[in-house]
């Protein structure tokens, strides 16, 4: 994808703020459990607790629908962070009184919370909106800005433990409002949602982008995983990696805004252009290897390398994409089950022991080389089932290089398919085979930490 941008979202009315019982208020004030039933989270840096709007729960029915008008009111607050998960926002709150607003789900119902740092913990205090006003500590305010201004100015406590709000923490620049994104043609979709061409509007500037849109009203974990993908991608800055521009977390559906790769998915392109010459295929392999060398040096395991997860820029340069399964800062990860994993792209140690590493990425890259020179005419191990393919892979039966494969690419592919992971080259070694005089990207220690 190519182009510059940042993210935004489509407005959707949100659920209701439910009535909190006296019992839940008491249990939360003891810091035992969150109102959604989860134990208060404790990290080395901070502990977080969830509380209710004290007082409002005693005498008000807080069931409402958060209308488009109320959503717009929230969006005007620069310290409203939308549906960003706890893990994402807690790092932003560092001093006593630092606070922000966010939306959270409690038992499937959307609520608005003040997240505030106080005495080593981040507390998440739920607010109510009822009868035309926002309610906190038995006081009602016409707008949320009036509520915040009052408690910042007076320093009145907003929780029985003495918690107060002082400094609002604005949302980062990479948060994009839905109103700044115009969705256009749908490019594709999957279990997570859809991908569209979009227009990012910033003042008078308009930029074509790709928009990855999560299906509306997804569960907390699915939203957290979606945001985690965008957060990981923000580390990357390389011409052979798809660039993330921003996220739109303010409303459902959540969206990730990406650079637009005008020539689309690599597999689709090759199927449409079966006469792609070998030198162009070789260039595509080198591009992919450059991107993967960069990721390896950033200590990222991609876990889903395939032509379907590569995109083509304006000059048909390959860009590694789709980081939904990627893991950072681990040498090896192990899974007990390989549910819905692409068997024909997986290494023997993954199929046999559930192990993923940079060396299993190397194996999958060998499959990518095969796909490119095969012009994605078929899937790997054609005409057999996944079960049969798994048996062949575990038995050491590998794919042969397609006719017309560049000798260097055929040699690289053979090395990728060595059964013992330790015998396979790393990506830097593979790049030296494919492009001997090319300088590899810097190691992770040379990057700024995120």
Collapsed DSSP state (helix, strand, coil) of residue 150: helix
Q: Cα(191)–Cα(193) distance, rounded to whole angstroms?
A: 6
- At which residue do the structure tokens 């590569």 appear? 310
Burial of 440 (0-12, 13-18, 19+ CB in 10 A): middle
Pairing mode, strands 193-202 and 181-189: antiparallel
Tokens at 129, concatenated: 């909106």
Instruction: Assess contact for 212 and 256: CB atoms under 8 A.
Output: yes
Question: Is the previous residue joined to 253 through a cis bond, with omega within 30 degrees of 0?
Answer: yes
Number of helices and strands (H, E) in the chain?
A: 13, 19
Rounded to 10°, the helix 407-416/278-297 angle is 40
Distance CA 1, CA 258 (A): 8
Residue 336 known to be catalytic: no
Structure tokens at 324: 């939904």
DSSP state of 419: S
Secondary structure (DSSP) of 378-399:
S-SSTTS-HHHHHHHHHTT--P
Residues within the annotated binding site for ATP?
Answer: 213
The span from the CA of 434 to the CA of 441, in Å, is 15
Upper half-sphere CA count for residue 281 (Cβ side, 13 Å): 28
Task: Tell how far CA 139 is from the center of its chain.
Answer: 38
Catalytic residue among 98, 304, 361, 379: 304
Instruction: Give the sheet arrangement for strand 205-214, strand by strand.
Output: 181-189, 193-202, 205-214, 255-259, 244-248
Residues with a known catalytic role: 304
């Amino acid at each position: 994808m190519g182009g510059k941008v940042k993210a935004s979202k489509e407005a959707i009315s949100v659920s209701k703020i439910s009535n909190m019982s006296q019992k839940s208020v008491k249990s939360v004030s003891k810091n035992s459990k969150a109102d959604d039933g989860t134990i208060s989270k404790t990290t080395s840096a901070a502990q977080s607790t969830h509380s209710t709007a004290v007082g409002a729960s005693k005498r008000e029915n807080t069931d409402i629908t958060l209308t488009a008008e109320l959503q717009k009111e929230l969006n005007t607050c620069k310290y409203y962070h939308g549906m960003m998960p706890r893990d994402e926002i807690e790092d932003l709150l560092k001093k006593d009184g630092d606070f922000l607003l966010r939306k959270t789900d409690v038992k499937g119902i959307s609520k608005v919370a003040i997240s505030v740092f106080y005495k080593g913990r981040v507390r998440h205090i739920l607010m109510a909106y009822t009868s035309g006003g926002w309610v906190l500590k038995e006081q009602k305010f016409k707008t949320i800005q009036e509520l915040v201004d009052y408690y910042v100015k007076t320093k009145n406590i907003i929780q029985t433990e003495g918690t107060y709000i002082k400094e609002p923490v604005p949302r980062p620049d990479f948060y994009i409002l839905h109103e700044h994104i115009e969705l256009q043609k749908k490019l594709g979709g999957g279990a997570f949602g859809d991908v569209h061409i979009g227009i990012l509007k910033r003042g008078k500037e308009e930029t074509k982008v790709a928009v990855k849109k999560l299906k509306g009203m997804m569960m907390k974990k699915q939203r957290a995983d979606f945001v985690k993908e965008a957060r990981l991608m923000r580390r990357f800055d390389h011409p052979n990696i798809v660039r993330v521009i921003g996220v739109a977390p303010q409303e459902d559906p959540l969206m990730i805004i990406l650079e637009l790769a005008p020539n689309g998915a690599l597999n689709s392109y090759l199927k449409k252009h079966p006469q792609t010459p070998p030198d162009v295929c070789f260039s595509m392999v080198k591009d992919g290897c450059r991107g993967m060398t960069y990721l390896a040096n950033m200590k990222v395991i991609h876990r889903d390398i395939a032509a379907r997860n590569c995109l083509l820029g304006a000059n048909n340069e390959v860009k590694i994409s789709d980081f939904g399964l990627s893991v950072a800062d681990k040498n090896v990860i192990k899974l007990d089950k390989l549910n819905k994993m692409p068997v024909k792209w997986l290494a023997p140690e993954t199929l046999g022991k559930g192990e993923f590493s940079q060396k299993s990425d190397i194996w999958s890259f060998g499959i990518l080389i095969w796909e490119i020179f095969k012009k994605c005419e078929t899937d790997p191990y054609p005409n057999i089932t996944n079960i049969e393919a798994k048996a062949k892979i575990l038995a050491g039966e590998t794919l042969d290089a397609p006719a017309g494969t560049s000798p260097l690419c055929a040699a690289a592919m053979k090395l990728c398919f060595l059964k013992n992971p330790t015998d396979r080259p790393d990506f830097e070694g593979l790049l030296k085979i494919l492009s001997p005089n090319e300088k590899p990207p810097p190691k992770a220690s040379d990057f700024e930490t995120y």
